[in-house]
Structure 1
Amino acid sequence: MERIVACLVLPLLAACGLQPMYAGGPDAGVAQGLAAVAVPAIPGRGGWLVQNALEDRLGIAGDESTRYRLDVRLDDSLEALGVLNDDTISRERRILRARYQLVDTSSGEIVLDATAGSDAGIDVVSSEYATIAAEQKALENLAEEVADRMATSIALALRERARGAAAE
C-alpha cells in the first residue's frame, strides 16, 4: 500500500517544480559556490560562534578558491521580559540578528543583501551561575539557528545566480 502511494505521489512532486538543492553532490554548482565563500572574522563571542557555524554549513574550501566574501554584522541583545513586584527579573529574552552581504570578490557585486535572526526565552533563577550558563547556551543555540538561515539564503541566491548564468 505504501509503495502504491509513493508511486502516485512522486510524479506530483516532479510536476510542482521541486528540485534537489545539492543534486550532483559536492560537484554541484551550489555546493561549489558555498565552498567558495570566505567568512571574515565577526567581532564578539556571538560572532565567533556564527562564523564557526557558517564555516561548518558552507563547507569552506580554503582561501585559495574563494570567490565570494560574506560580510556579517551581528546585533546581540538581552532584555528583561518578566519583572516581579520586587523589581527582580524572572525572564529574559536573548535576540541575535545578523545583517549580511554576499559579495562577489572578482566584480565587487553584492549578490545578496539580507538579514536573519532568532530569539530565545531564558528563565532567571536564584543561581547566578545557572542564569549565566542559560544565557550562554541560548547564544550558542541562536548562533546555530542564524547560521542555518543564512546558509539556506546563500544557497538559494547562488542557485538563482547559476540559473541566470545558464540562461544567458
Structure 2
Amino acid sequence: MIRAAILLGLSSALLGGCGMRPLYGGGGNGAIGQTLAAIEVAPIEGQQGWLVANALRDRLRASGEATPRYRLQIALDDQIIGLGARLNDTITRERRILRARYQLVDLATGGVLVDATAGSDAGIDVVGSEYATIAAEQSALERLSGIVADQIVARVALYAKRVEDAE
C-alpha cells in the first residue's frame, strides 16, 4: 500500500514536469469548449448524414450553446463492399466504409479554416437472414457515424488549440 502511494506520488511529479496540458482545460468554459460550442453543423444529405450530424451536434454542444461563429460543411461517402464468396457466388462478408470530407468555415469571412477528411470502416458478416444482415449494416453505420464524428471534433479541437496557443 505504501509502495503504491510512493509510485503514485513519483509519477504525478514526473507528469507535472512534462509540459503536457489537457486539450479541454477549463471544460466547457475553456477556450476550446467555447470554440466547439460556436460551431454549427450544415445539413448533410441522407440517413448517414443525419446520423453524423446528430453525433456531431451532441459532441459540439456538450459544453453548452453559443452564437455560431463557424460552420462545419460535410460531404459523406458511404460504401458497402462484398468481400467473401461461397461456391454459389453469394457474399459471406461485407465491409462498410464511411468517409467524410469536411471544412470548418469562418462565418464572418467565409474563409476555410480546416479542410480535412475522416473515416472508418467495419466488417459485417452476411448471414442467412436478410433482416439480420440489414440490421448489422445499420448497426455498423451507427457506430461509424460516431467514430467519424469523434475524429472531426478532435481535429477541430486541435485546430482551436493551435489558434489559442498562437494568440
Fold shared by both chains (TM-score > 0.5):
yes
Show the 5 A alignment for 1:82-101: 82-101=84-103
Q: Give distance in 1, aligned partners of 2:79 and 2:23.
A: 34
Letter in 1 for 2:5: R
Q: CA deviation at 1:111?
A: 1.4
AA paired with 2:78? D
Matched residue pairs, number? 164
* Amino acid in structure 2 at the alignment position of 1:109: G
Q: So what's the TM-score if we normalise by structure 1?
A: 0.93
For residues 88 and 97 of structure 1, the distance between their equivalents in structure 2, rounded to whole angstroms, comes to: 26
Task: State the SS of the aligned residue for 2:115.
Answer: strand
Residue 115 of structure 2 aligns with an amino acid whose one-letter code is D
Distance in 2 of aligned mates of 1:75 and 1:23: 34
Alignment partner, residue 151 of structure 2: 149
Of 108-117 and 39-48, deviating more is 108-117
- Report the Cα offset of residue 3 of structure 1: 2.0
Distance of 1:116 and 1:31 partners within structure 2: 21
Q: Quick one: distance in 1 between partners of 2:151 and 2:4? A: 33
Q: What secondary structure, in the 3-state scheme, does the structure 1 residue paired with 2:151 have?
A: helix
Deviations for 1:118-148, whole angstroms, at most 9, x for unmatched residues?
0000000010000000000000000011101
Question: Match for 2:59 among 57, 60, 71?
Answer: 57
Alignment partner for residue 107 of structure 1, among 109, 115, 125?
109
In structure 2, stretches of 5+ residues that fail to align are: none
- Mean CA deviation greater in 7-16 or 36-45: 7-16
What amino acid is the match of 1:100? Y
Q: CA deviation at 1:26?
A: 1.6
Alpha-carbon offset, residue 9 of structure 1: 1.3
Corresponding residue of 2:26? 24
Instruction: Determine what percentage of the aligned residue pairs are the same residue.
Output: 52
CA distance in 1, matches of 2:4, 2:154: 31
1:44 is matched with: 46
Unmatched 5+ stretches in structure 1: none
- From 83, 86, 91, give the equivalent of 1:81: 83
1:140 to 131, 139, 142: 142
Q: Using structure 2 for the length normalisation, give the TM-score.
A: 0.93
Runs of 4+ in 1 over 3 A off after TM superposition: none
